[in-house]
Chains A and B, each alone.
Chain A
Amino acid sequence: MTPLPRSGRRAILKGMGAGLLAGAGVLPVSVGAQAAPLRLGFQLHRTGIGASYGRWYERTTVAALKHINEAGGILGRPVEILFEDDATDPRRGSEVVDKLVTRDKCELVFGTLFSDVVMASAPRAGELKVPFLICSEGYQLPAGDLNRWTLQPGIADVRAQIRPMVPWIARNLGKKVAMIFPDYAFGHDHRDFFTETMTEHGGEVVAKIAIPPTETSFTRYFAQIPKQAEVIYHVMVGPAVLTFVKELGDFYGSGARPELFGFIDSLEAVDTTTPGLEFLEGSHFWEGHPRVKPADAGEFEDDYRAAVGVDDKGASLDNPADIATYGHMFSTWETLFFIKQAMEAANYAGPQDRQKLVETMEAITDLPYGIEHPQGAKIFNGRTHQVFTPQYISQIRDGLPVKVHQTAIEDSYYPDAVDYTTKSF
């Protein structure tokens, strides 16, 4: 290939320079009266096994953003959110954090859900010294495995979710439990915390069945459920959950079977009236935020549902077959409002205030119920960087999950495992 003639190269460089200047003039840069936009980064599972959640996380965040910008933004500045796909891949996760902060100049990053991606991405945020707010429910953060830059103000961790479930299960379903969970951090947390709490309440975990996260067939595992199990506790994630329930139904059929208690993670984005799920009728689920609007819903529930585009059954207003990941998506809405609250309290001006922002967040405790926190009132623990929330239990009646129980925030408490405020940035 012949090299370009020198004059040709110069012409191109000149053209590029001119174009750059022209573009700079055309771009909506803050000049004069309008305040510079505040740019936030969102680490989104747009593709990969978390894609179902990612779709709704993005939708909910965009709705919250609209709400905030219509009310004047943060500190009078319009807010921009840059969504970047991490493909639900741990390796890609830390690259995404890097890109959002170093190339896209975002003030902070939020939104990561899957715990393995969180584990890979949080250290990078720590290295870059950037606030990293996860919407994950993983326990690694309050356990002290992450860094002082990482916080979870929008959703409770699994330990807090599980603890108040145990007394209810022991009282209403049974005390001999067979556990089925995915064989990675999230599932292990369920295994460990449920066992610990059930033992405290005089119950017994009679089987712990770990399933590879990419498993597509479950019948082989059901054979391991002991005869004496009174309850099957299941928390499955990923596209195979429908198969899980169908095969459970095939395996037990109409004969004697243990009671079921599941986490709605098994059925997020899945229509509970789908044929093949009849086996779930009458069984109970933990819900992060009741999918079907309860009779005693708070006064802001309707506004929130309208904003995120979800009907009273938890389906998209545009398509009743499109079920929301309603039990988790509120975390992104609430995290954005938490960011707003903290930035305003810290009078955040730019990246130089990032550390001050985290310190301000650590000082926040009460998060009352309101449009900013539609899942329920919350208490933020500045030492563990983890928020505590109410938990919900629902029963499938006529194919739909109906709320039957709500826990108090204090029911979830456990001793602090870490105090990030004593750690260095």
Chain B
Amino acid sequence: MGLGPMLLLALMEGLVLAAVLALAASGLSLVFGVMRVVNVAHGAFFMLGAVAAYVVAAWLGGPRWAGFLAALAMAPLAVALLAMLADILILRRIAHAPEATIVATIGLMYMIEQGTLTLFGPDARAVAAPFDFRLQLPWFGYSGYKLFVVLAAVVLLLALWWLMARSKAGLVMRATQLDPDVARAFGINVDRVYSGVFAFGAALAAIAGVLIVPIQQAHYLMGASTLLLSFIVVIIGGLGSLPGTLLAALVIGLSDGIISMFWSPTLAKIIATLLVTLVLVFRPQGLFGASRA
């Protein structure tokens, strides 16, 4: 295959990765931005979204698009509920202390993974894409569903932007992010905002999981690589900055696509991790993060 077609394929693949990463990483970025905590269980929520999509689709039966739409609606809700419970029962009890939250969410991740193994099993399960459409280019074929994923991610991220910038809920979240004490003084129930944000972050990860599951499969260990990449994206973009996260997702996704295609995926991961190291050394606040005094 010629250089041109290879580059095109690389960019298309990279765009799909960027789309999924953008969704997953925004959830992580939001949680850190507002709550100032690191959620190591984020990959587990992503995985739960995929697993829940399988469960919903299998239970509903019927035409594929119906199962998929139901999954898109129900899986993030279920995962958000679980995350909210986790925040109320665990994180609130440790007052969202940073180190304690890291340890607690590691434990949560293990519990979710092993629980999924016990209930869902060790096998990878497929979920059919809502529609079968192949784009046939002169040099290669491409799944139409993958292009849909990119489109869906763009729509969802626009919705997220509107929510953060234009809605009251977004205003409350941004206020809490700026200064939780002042927000409290203004009558905002910070604990409730935290639970809501944690749940919302998990829901974003779960949506990413639902979108990806027809492309990959649902498997109880699938959260690990997403977790790593989400962290890379969030650190490079700037903790707490959504535009930064989106830009970083695009950079990481496209570069991964190109480097993987022309060299090797391992090299792509090495470079992504190197980028994080450089950012941490030279610009710890990331591309767009505010430097903390």
Contacts and interface: CB of A to CB of B under 8 A. Distances in A.
A232 to B, nearest CB: 15
A275 interface: yes
Given A47-B117, A47-B122, A217-B13, A243 B225 contact: no
Interface string B183-223: 00000000000000000000000000000000111010110
Contacts of B225: 214, 216
A329 interface: no
B126 A242 contact: yes
B277 interface: no
Given A52-B122, A212-B265, A276-B128, A220 B10 contact: yes
A69 interface: no
Given A255-B141, A276-B128, A219 B122 contact: no
Most buried by A among B122, B221, B222: B122
Contacts of B167: none
Nearest to B266: A212
Contact of A251 (B123, B140, B261, B265): B140
Contacts of A47: 114, 117, 122
A182 interface: no
B123 A219 contact: no
A213 to B, nearest CB: 11
Interface in A131-172: none
Interface string B229-269: 00000000000000000000000000001001100011000
A269 interface: yes
B61 to A, nearest CB: 13
Contacts of A252: 140-141
Contacts of A255: 136, 141
B124 A242 contact: yes
Contact of A239 (B6, B17, B123, B143): B123
Most buried by B among A216, A255, A275: A216
Interface residues of A, number: 33
B89 interface: no
A275 B131 CA distance: 12
Contact of A220 (B114, B136, B260): B260
A377 interface: no
A298 interface: no
Interface residues of B, number: 33
Contacts of A214: 225
A226 to B, nearest CB: 9
A253 B142 CA distance: 9
B267 to A, nearest CB: 11
A12 to B, nearest CB: 31
A51 B10 CA distance: 33
Contact of B217 (A54, A55, A239): A239
Contacts of B121: 51, 55
Contacts of A422: none
Contact of B265 (A52, A215, A241, A269): A215
B201 to A, nearest CB: 22
B9 interface: yes
A251 B122 CA distance: 28
Contact of A223 (B123, B217, B261): B261
8 contacts: A214-B225, A216-B216, A217-B13, A217-B216, A219-B13, A223-B1, A239-B219, A243-B215
Interface of A: 47-49, 51-52, 54-55, 212, 214-217, 219-220, 222-223, 239-243, 246-247, 250-253, 255, 269-270, 274-276
Interface of B: 1, 5-6, 9-10, 13, 17, 114, 117, 121-124, 126, 128, 134, 136, 140-143, 215-217, 219, 221-222, 225, 257, 260-261, 265-266
Given A51-B121, A217-B17, 5 more contacts: A52-B122, A54-B122, A55-B122, A220-B13, A253-B134
